[in-house]
Amino acid sequence: MRGFSLVLRGGLVADGTGAPLAALDVGVVGDRVRLLTPGTVAQADEVLDVSGSVVAPGFIDAHTHSDTACIDASERRLDSSQAFASVLQGVTTEIAGNCGVSAFPGTYSGLAALSRAHSVSGRSNHLASLVGHGTLRAFVVGHEARPATAMETARMAEALDEALESGAVGLSTGLIYTPGSYANAAEITALATVAARHGKPYVTHLRDEMSGVESALEEAIAIARDSGAALHVSHHKTAGKYAWGRTEVTLARLAELRESGMDVTCDVYPYTAGSTKLSAMLPPWAHDGGPARLLERLRDPGQRDALRKAIAEGVPGWENTVGNGGWDRIVVAGALRHAAYQGQTIAALAGAADVDPVDLVAELLLSEDGDVTIISHSMCEDDVRRVLSAPFAMIGSDGVPTPGRPHPRWAGTFARVLGHYTREAGLFDLPEALRKMTGATAARFGLTGRGVLRDGAHADLVVFDAARVADRATFAEPLAAPEGVRLVMVGGAIAVRDGVLTAARPGRVVAV
């Protein structure tokens, strides 16, 4: 038989479809795989005995914010341990451009320009990207709190059409974040219609994931129906104490839609805490005009009083994270000039300084030029388990590789699902867990030949010990690599061997 660069012998193969594991050998030729009957004689540059291990398609992270992480690491704006934490747990493709924010148009002119930048910096794994509605809006409309005009909507649609034609995998919105939150449903529907024409999904961070989650979900459903686009709900949750338990309602609604023939899915991360920018804790009107205007308002004592009132009383249509939980649930994750704040709650910091939390937040944002990340402990475990168990849910880390002490989901999500929720908690069997990480995600985003293990598929593979795989990343040590991941192959090259990152940089930006 013709020569292989690598043959993996003696493992149990998961094909990414949810089918039972099968005893097969796997051969790699170039950047493609071939399944072999055990014991098949084959010439190979390297033969690895993987007896006792599972050989699976490389994991596909359905939701990341890693658009430029490797570029930032190459230019020393980000530590390399941040940039490469994902591949160490077996992720061979990351879906970026989520929550309405993408690297193009704007920072990069388009997907091709982003691809060129990544080819220079080097990647261990692949990247595919959605087009962010918030980025489109900032590019065309700016940061003003107003509806887009018909001409502006047409310009956004034209830019979106060009990006999707060049290989972006869909349209995303982040409707709690400005400037995307300033858009009405008609504007988003017009753009989702463009995605539908390309056969690509509308991917949304709902306008409210807290007390207004049900109406926010209905808005997303209406946009998908009116546009004809498939609907994918990002990091589905019902957060904040007033929404706990309501996944029973939202998941039943999604299941009902699927039974009626609507193409709707979601992704989920296996933690009860989320992460975002500290500035997102402030109402939309505070951001009108963009980041510079926000900082101006934070300097004004009268505006601070208005912020206090908005958080205490709420603003119609605004997902009020602090009002739904409290400053004691908001932990500083990244603050470049205030490293001692990292890992502490806003409530504790304000108490220690004997100041009102809003004043502490304002001063912190001003001294950090608005760039502070936080972790929000806002969900309950029952809701997380319920969404994980849904057959139409796939796995996405929502990883945000940033300096400081980021959320451990960036380094731990996939190992945590395999170790804690599959092996220990028994939410689903191993083939089903792997389907949620591979084949289901590839199908959702049109990644042909990825997420599956069959003859001719891309040689993106992960080999792990099912009895030992576990996450080690914690809120105290968020970048700790997982246990039990033996080998990760990307594009036919070994990116991780025995849990250690190699020098290979075979990853690329994938266009579909």
* Whether residue 157 sits in one domain with residue 100: yes
Give the β-pairing of 330-334 and 171-174: unpaired
- Look at residue 436 and tell me if it is in a domain: yes
Q: Mean pLDDT in the chain?
A: 97
Neighbours of 292 (CB within 10 A): 10
pLDDT score recorded for residue 40: 85
* Whether residue 390 sits in one domain with residue 371: no
- Look at residue 219 and tell me if it is in a domain: yes
Q: What is the pLDDT of residues 287-320, one digit of tens each?
A: 999 999 999 999 999 999 999 999 999 999 899 9
Domain termination site, one of 376, 407, 438? 376
The residue-averaged pLDDT of 27-34 equals 97
CA 467 – CA 321 distance, rounded (Å): 38
DSSP annotation string for 395-420: E---B---SSS--THHHHHHHHIIII
CATH number of the domain within which 128 lies = 3.20.20.140
The residue-averaged pLDDT of 3-25 equals 97
pLDDT score recorded for residue 176: 95
pLDDT score recorded for residue 2: 66
Q: What is the pLDDT of residues 69-81, one digit of tens each?
A: 999 999 989 998 8
* Whether residue 347 sits in one domain with residue 202: no
CA 492 – CA 33 distance, rounded (Å): 8
Q: Which domain holds residue 372?
A: 277-376
Determine phi and psi for 497, rounding to 5 degrees: -130, 125
- Look at residue 409 and tell me if it is in a domain: yes
| 339: pLDDT strictly greater than 80 | yes
The residue-averaged pLDDT of 211-231 equals 98
* Whether residue 128 sits in one domain with residue 251: yes
Domain termination site, one of 327, 347, 376? 376
* Whether residue 401 sits in one domain with residue 363: no
- End-to-end CA distance of the chain, in Å? 33
- Look at residue 190 and tell me if it is in a domain: yes
* Whether residue 154 sits in one domain with residue 125: yes
Q: How many domains does the chain have?
A: 2
DSSP annotation string for 251-275: HHHHHHHHHTT--EEEEE-S-SEEE
- Look at residue 455 and tell me if it is in a domain: no
* Whether residue 265 sits in one domain with residue 137: yes
* Whether residue 267 sits in one domain with residue 292: no
CA 279 – CA 274 distance, rounded (Å): 14
The residue-averaged pLDDT of 155-167 equals 98
The residue-averaged pLDDT of 340-355 equals 98
- Look at residue 90 and tell me if it is in a domain: yes
pLDDT score recorded for residue 19: 98
* 306 Cβ contact list (under 8 Å, min separation 6): none
CA 297 – CA 306 distance, rounded (Å): 10
* Whether residue 269 sits in one domain with residue 163: yes
Domain termination site, one of 427, 446, 465? 446
* Whether residue 204 sits in one domain with residue 160: yes
Which neighbouring-strand residues pair with 500? 497
pLDDT score recorded for residue 123: 97
Q: What is the pLDDT of residues 495-512, one digit of tens each?
A: 999 999 999 999 999 999
**CB pairs under 8 A, 24+ apart, for 308-311?**
308/356, 308/358, 310/282, 310/283, 310/285, 310/286, 311/281, 311/282, 311/283, 311/358
Per-residue pLDDT band at 42 (split at 50, 70, 90):
confident
* 256 Cβ contact list (under 8 Å, min separation 6): none
* Whether residue 207 sits in one domain with residue 286: no
Per-residue pLDDT band at 39 (split at 50, 70, 90):
confident
Q: What is the pLDDT of residues 193-218, one digit of tens each?
A: 999 999 999 999 999 999 999 999 99
- Look at residue 135 and tell me if it is in a domain: yes
- Look at residue 390 and tell me if it is in a domain: yes
| 49: pLDDT strictly greater than 60 | yes
Best CA proximity match to 166, nearest among 225, 96, 112:
112
pLDDT score recorded for residue 1: 53
* Whether residue 115 sits in one domain with residue 190: yes
| 439: pLDDT strictly greater than 70 | yes
